[in-house]
Amino acid sequence: MLPRKCSFWAGSIVVALAGCGSETAAPEPGQPDDWDADVRLPEAKDTNEDPAIVEIDLTAKVASIEIVPGKMTQVWTYDGGLPGPLIHAKRGDRLIVHFTNELPEATTIHWHGVRVPNEMDGVPDEPTPPVEPGASFDYDFTLPDAGLFWYHPHVDSAAQVGFGLYGALLVDDPEEPADLGDPLVLVLSDLSLDEEGKVTAPDTSGDLGSVFGREGNVILVNGKPKPELRPRAGRRERWRLVDAAKSRYFWLDLDGAAGLRIGGDGGLSSKPSPIDRILLGPGQRADVLVTPVASPNERRTIRWIPFDRGYGSADLRSPEDVISIRAPDLPAETSPAIPDTSRAIEAIDTSKAAPISLDLTMDQQGDAITLGINGVPYDESEPIMAMIGDTQVWTVTNKMPWAHPFHLHGFFFQVLEANGSKVDDLEWTDTVHVGLDASVRFAVRFDERPGMWMFHCHILDHAELGMMGMVHLQE
Ligand code: C2O
Ligand code: CU
């Protein structure tokens, strides 16, 4: 720690008596203004004066933006930016989104992870029809849970998400401990760009490309390739991360910094766990406390590490720099001790649960490949039946040589066992990684929101090839 500089104004007896530490003399504490300037997300403007209502306008439209320096890229956006604006609310708020579709195709918004009423879930015609080009729709629901959620289309989703349609929805918990760290929402994604900076066709390499899951060649953090953070040394940050890529897993190495994972998809977990890498499959979120730099001028680089999500997906690939961190030449500060974030989560009672078993399958006839669940692609599948109040235990088994981030709409579940290990620390999850030759078991309790609820692999290319299904929840 550098000695604090003092300067006294002439004649100020107060300052002289108080000695070093007057506000005029000390350097400004806290983060420098521009520490997160590279990744600062625009926030959607709340037009409603009622503090319990967040009301915004949101328009999906094509826009040209400079993503790679010197090249303009035409992308699909919410409100002209990639990612879309951060929607910021608190638990219990009502969210009203006046949505307009200015895209050349029909679209919807799916509120990933939010326990919305079925007609607000964004799955086309289940039950709400999609929003046609030029048309508008009002999404209107309350936000029952705190956490980082995200929004994206559910029409032709591999293509539309791949073109750039996604954004973060942060729901604060007013009762959470203060002082967790300086907040930072990080939307991780990628884009597949050709030499001129144009987004490549979403059907590149046909079905094989889909089975592999198309990853972009430019990694983006809040829409920027390799952004730089300039945080003050010693200050703790709270990273809220979401993997919004259509296929890419993000396995991030913290370059020696100690991370504490305090939550996942659906808010805080029952017990924080120390980590030195963050693993996120498409759709998943993480809530991580980290003090990335300890002393002035220190540097660190957060790197993407190839993650083996199946045949050849990690071969011949090297780590890539994702975020560079450079502490400015400012005296270090000490962050207060980490408050206890553990959350009391009651285990779902599974004593009367109905078992459901789902195999993730692939079928190849000549060149045509379909993916499915229990051997059937989505368009031939029968829904899983459930009644309000039912508890089910799902066993999802991977029969394919590729990993799948498995997502259930509308409900959180509790993972009991994943990829060979029993899970003891409870948390609320909506997207779970099903590894190679592995299986996952989770418990879900269906609350009083009847309707058709989708589940699917969140490698969106896999979903489009048929790896989707429905739960029919009845009164
Ligand atoms: Cu985020 Cu049906 O998906
Ligand atoms: Cu998959």
Indicate the residue among 153, 172, 191 that finishes a domain: 172
> Is 266 inside any structural domain?
yes
Q: Which atom of ligand 1 is nearest the CA belonging to 123?
A: 2
**pLDDT at residue 368, rounded to an integer:** 86
Identify the residue with better confidence: 16 or 368: 368
Q: Is 195 found in the same domain as 322?
A: yes
Q: Is 160 found in the same domain as 187?
A: no
Rounded distance, CA 15 to CA 9, Å? 8
> Is 260 inside any structural domain?
yes
Tens of pLDDT along 121-150? Answer: 999 999 999 999 999 999 999 999 999 999
Q: Is 205 found in the same domain as 166?
A: no
> Is 434 inside any structural domain?
yes
25 pLDDT tier (thresholds 50, 70, 90): low
- 283 CA to centre of ligand 1 in angstroms: 7
**pLDDT at residue 24, rounded to an integer:** 54
Q: Is 360 found in the same domain as 315?
A: no
**pLDDT at residue 16, rounded to an integer:** 38
- 246 CA to centre of ligand 2 in angstroms: 10
Report the range of poorest mean pLDDT among 23-27, 241-245, 362-366: 23-27
Instruction: Tell me the DSSP string of 221-260.
Output: ETTBSS-EE-PPTT--EEEEEEE--SS--EEEE-TT--EE
| Statement: residue 282 has pLDDT above 60 | yes
> DSSP character for 210?
H
Range(s) of the domain holding residue 295: 182-326
Q: Is 59 found in the same domain as 122?
A: yes
Q: Is 87 found in the same domain as 233?
A: no
| Statement: residue 274 has pLDDT above 80 | yes
Lining ligand 1 with CB less than 6 A are 110, 112, 152, 154, 283, 407, 409, 454, 456, 458
Q: Is 363 found in the same domain as 308?
A: no
Tens of pLDDT along 393-427? Answer: 999 999 998 999 999 999 999 999 999 999 999 99
Rounded distance, CA 208 to CA 205, Å? 6
- 465 CA to centre of ligand 2 in angstroms: 9
Indicate the residue among 117, 140, 172 that finishes a domain: 172
Rounded distance, CA 230 to CA 109, Å? 34
Question: Nearest to residue 43, comparing CAs of 11, 13, 79?
Answer: 79
> Is 197 inside any structural domain?
yes
Q: Is 162 found in the same domain as 31?
A: yes
Compute the residue count for the chain: 475
Indicate the residue among 172, 194, 221 that finishes a domain: 172
312 pLDDT tier (thresholds 50, 70, 90): confident
Q: Which ligand is nearest to the CA of 457?
A: 2
- 434 CA to centre of ligand 1 in angstroms: 16
Q: Is 281 found in the same domain as 363?
A: no
12 pLDDT tier (thresholds 50, 70, 90): very low
CATH of the domain at 279: 2.60.40.420
Q: Is 319 found in the same domain as 194?
A: yes
Q: Which atom of ligand 1 is nearest the CA belonging to 431?
A: 1
**pLDDT at residue 363, rounded to an integer:** 94
Q: Is 40 found in the same domain as 110?
A: yes
Domain count, the chain: 3
366 pLDDT tier (thresholds 50, 70, 90): confident
Give nearest CA residue, ligand 1 atom 1.
Answer: 112
Give nearest CA residue, ligand 1 atom 3.
Answer: 112
Q: Is 192 found in the same domain as 143?
A: no
Find out whether 189 and 242 touch, Cβ atoms under 8 Å.
no
> Is 75 inside any structural domain?
yes
| Statement: residue 42 has pLDDT above 90 | yes
| Statement: residue 9 has pLDDT above 50 | no
Q: Which ligand is nearest to the CA of 310?
A: 2
